[in-house]
Structure 1
Amino acid sequence: MKKMYLFVALLCICGNLKAQVFQTSDEGYKQPLDSVLNQLATKFKVKILYNPEITKNAWVPYADWRLRNSAEKSLINILAPVNLSYRKTDSTTYQVRPFEYYRRSVVEGKEQLADFAKLYQDKGSWEQRKTSIVACIKETLALTILPLKPASKPIFTAKRIMNGYTVENIAIETLPGLYVCGSLYRPIKVKGKVPVILCPGGHFDQGRYRSDQQYSCAMLARMGAIALSYDLIAYGESQLQFNFSDHRRSIVMAVQTLNNIRMLDFLCALQDADLTRVAVTGASGGGSQTMILTALDPRITVSAPIVMVSAWYTGGCPCETGVPAHFCAGGTNNVEIAAMAAPRPQLIVSDGGDWTATVPDIEFPYIKKIYAYYAAQDLTTNVHLPDEKHDYGLSKRLATYDFFAKHLRLNLVKDSSGKIDESACIIEEEPMLYTFGKHGENLPKNAIKGLHALTDVFEKAISQVNR
Structure 2
Amino acid sequence: MKRILAIVVVYLCCSGQFSQAQNSDDKYRIPLQDVIGMLEERYDIQIKYNESQVKDKWLNYAKWRFRPDVDETLRNVLSPLDLKVNKEGEGKYKLKEYEYYRWEPQDGWDYLDELATQYNDKESWEQRKQKIRPDLYNALKLSPMPAAPHSVPLVTKKRTFKNYTVENFALEIMPGLYVNGSIYRPLKAKGKVPLMLSPDGHWGGHRFRKDAQVRCAMTAQMGAIAVSYDLFGWGESTLQFKPEDHRRSLSLTVQTLGAIRILDWMLQDKNIDTDRVGICGGSGGGSHTVLMTALDDRITLSIPVVSLSSYFYGGCPCESGLPIHMAAGGTNNVELAAMAAPRPQLVISDGKDWTAHMPEHDFPYLQKIYSYYGKTDMVENVHLPEDGHDFGYAKRKPVYNFIAKHFKLDTKELKNATGDYDESSCVIEEEIALYAFGPNGENLPSNAIQGYENLEKRFKDQ
Deviation sequence 1:383-412 (CA, Å, 0-9, x none): 111112111111111111111111111222
Cα deviation 1:330-361 (Å, max 9, x = unaligned): 22111111111111110111111111111111
Give the Cα–Cα distance (whole angstroms) in 1 for the partners of residues 405 and 375 of structure 2.
15
In structure 2, what is the Cα distance between the partners aligned to 1:38 and 1:278? Answer: 60
Which amino acid in structure 2 is aligned with residue 447 of structure 1? Answer: A
C-alpha separation between the residues in 2 aligned to 1:36 and 1:110? 33
d(CA) in 1 for partners of 2:243 and 2:259?
19
Q: CA deviation at 1:51?
A: 3.1
The equivalent residue for 2:16 is: none
- The alpha-carbon distance between structure 1 residues 66 and 303, as it changes in their structure 2 partners (threshold 3 A), is farther
Contact 2:49 2:94 (C-alpha < 8 Å) held by counterparts:
no
Structure 2 Cα separation of the partners of residues 216 and 92 of structure 1: 45
Match of 1:358? 357
- 1:266-305 matches, within 5 Å, as 266-305=265-304
Match of 2:215 in 1: 216
Query: CA shift at 1:86, angstroms?
Result: 4.7
* 2-structure distance, mates of 1:91, 1:445: 59
Q: Which residue of 2 aligns with 1:260?
A: 259
CA distance in 2, matches of 1:370, 1:332: 15
- Asked whether the 8 Å contact 2:286–2:306 carries over to 1, the reply is yes
Verify the 8 A CA contact 2:40 2:47 in the aligned structure 1: no
Q: CA distance change for structure 1 residues 92 and 135 in 2, over 3 Å: closer, same or farther?
A: farther
**Secondary structure, counterpart of 1:360 in structure 2:** coil
1:418 Cα shift?
2.8
Partner in structure 1 of residue 317 of structure 2: 318
Separation in structure 1 between the aligned mates of residue 273 and residue 74 of structure 2, nearest angstrom? 53
- Residue 437 of structure 1 aligns with which residue? 438
Give the CA deviation at 1:319: 1.4
Q: Percent identity?
A: 48
Report the equivalent of 1:237: 236
Question: 1:184·1:229 contact (CA, 8 Å) conserved in 2?
Answer: yes
Over residues 13-59 of structure 1, what are the superposed CA-to-partner deviations in whole Å (9 max), with x where a residue is unaligned?
xxxxxxxxxxxx9969xx9567668988x9xxxx9865386579656
The 8 Å contact of residues 60 and 82 in structure 1, kept in 2 or not, is answered as: no
Deviation at 1:234, TM superposition (A): 1.4
- Deviations along 1:90-145, one digit per CA (max 9) or x if unpaired, are 99997552211211122221221122122222222222222111111111112122
Q: Distance in 2 between matches of 1:52 and 1:301?
A: 48
Structure 1 pair 432–107 and aligned structure 2 pair: CA distance change class (3 A):
same
Which residue of structure 1 aligns with residue 102 of structure 2? 103
Q: Could you tell me which residue of structure 1 aligns to residue 203 of structure 2?
A: 204
Rounded Cα–Cα distance in structure 1 between residues aligned with 2:333 and 2:46: 29
Structure 2 residue identity aligned to 1:381: E
Answer yes or no: is 1:398 the counterpart of 2:376: no
| 1:164 has 2:163 as partner | yes
Aligned counterparts of 1:90 and 1:226: Cα–Cα separation in 2: 49
Shifted more, 80-89 versus 228-237: the winner is 80-89
Partner of 1:450: 451
User: Which position in structure 2 is the counterpart of 1:117?
Assistant: 116
Q: 1:76-87 alignment to 2 at 5 Å?
A: 79-87=78-86
| Cα distance in structure 2, aligned partners of 1:411 and 1:87 | 48
Q: Per the alignment, do residues 102 and 373 of structure 1 end up closer, same or farther by CA in structure 2, a change over 3 Å counting?
A: same
Structure-to-structure mapping, 1:12-91, within 5 angstroms: 32=35, 50-51=48-49, 60=62, 62-63=64-65, 79-87=78-86
Shifted more, 237-246 versus 52-61: the winner is 52-61
Q: Is the 8 A contact 2:169 2:183 kept in 1?
A: yes
Describe the shift of the 1:52–1:320 C-alpha distance in structure 2 as closer, same or farther (beyond 3 A). closer
Q: Is the 8 A contact 1:60 1:81 kept in 2?
A: no
CA contact (8 A) 1:312 1:355 kept: yes
1-structure distance, mates of 2:334, 2:286:
12
Distance 1:381 1:136 in 2: 28
**Is the alpha carbon distance of 1:94 and 1:169 closer, same or farther for their aligned partners in structure 2, counting shifts above 3 Å?**
same
Which residue number in structure 2 is paired with residue 409 of structure 1? 408
User: How far apart, CA to CA, are the structure 2 residues paired with 1:313 and 1:424?
Assistant: 37
Q: Assess, with a 3 A threshold, how the Cα gap between structure 1 residues 211 and 434 changes in structure 2: closer, same or farther.
A: same
* Structure 1 residues without counterparts, runs of 5 or longer: 1-24, 462-467
**Distance of 2:456 and 2:119 partners within structure 1:** 38
Cα gap change, 1:441 to 1:125, in 2 (>3 Å): same
Equivalent pairs, count = 429
- Root-mean-square deviation (Å): 2.8
Aligned to 1:330: 329
Amino acid at match of 2:120: Q
How far apart are residue 251 of structure 1 and its match?
Answer: 1.3
What secondary structure is seen at the aligned counterpart in 2 of 1:368? Answer: helix
d(CA) in 2 for partners of 1:119, 1:83: 33
Deviation digits for residues 359-383 of structure 1 (CA, Å, limit 9, x no counterpart): 1112212222211222211111111
**TM value normalised by structure 2:** 0.85
Answer whether contact 2:199 2:281 (CA < 8 A) is retained: yes
User: How far did 1:301 drift?
Assistant: 0.4
Taking the aligned partners of 1:81 and 1:374, their CA distance within structure 2 comes to: 46
1:89 Cα deviation after fit: 7.2
Cα 1:32/1:133, change in 2 over 3 Å:
same
Q: Deviations over 1:183-240 (max 9, x none)?
A: 1000011111110011111121221111111001000000000000011111111111
- TM-score under structure 1 normalisation? 0.84
Distance 1:363 1:90 in 2: 30
C-alpha separation in 2, matches of 1:121 and 1:168: 47
Q: What stretches of structure 2 of length at least 5 have no aligned partner?
A: 1-25
Distance (Å, rounded) in 2 between the aligned partners of 1:91 and 1:348: 36
Distance of aligned partners of 1:257 and 1:36 in 2 relative to their CA distance in 1, 3 Å threshold: same
Report the counterpart of residue 7 of structure 1 in structure 2: none
Give secondary structure in 2 for the equivalent of 1:359: coil
Q: CA deviation at 1:245?
A: 1.2
Task: Classify 1:161/1:452 alpha carbon distance in 2 versus 1 (closer, same or farther; 3 Å).
Answer: same
Inter-partner Cα distance in structure 2 for 1:437 and 1:359: 42
CA contact (8 A) 1:175 1:458 kept: no
The residue type paired with residue 336 of structure 2 is I
Structure 2 match to 1:192: 191
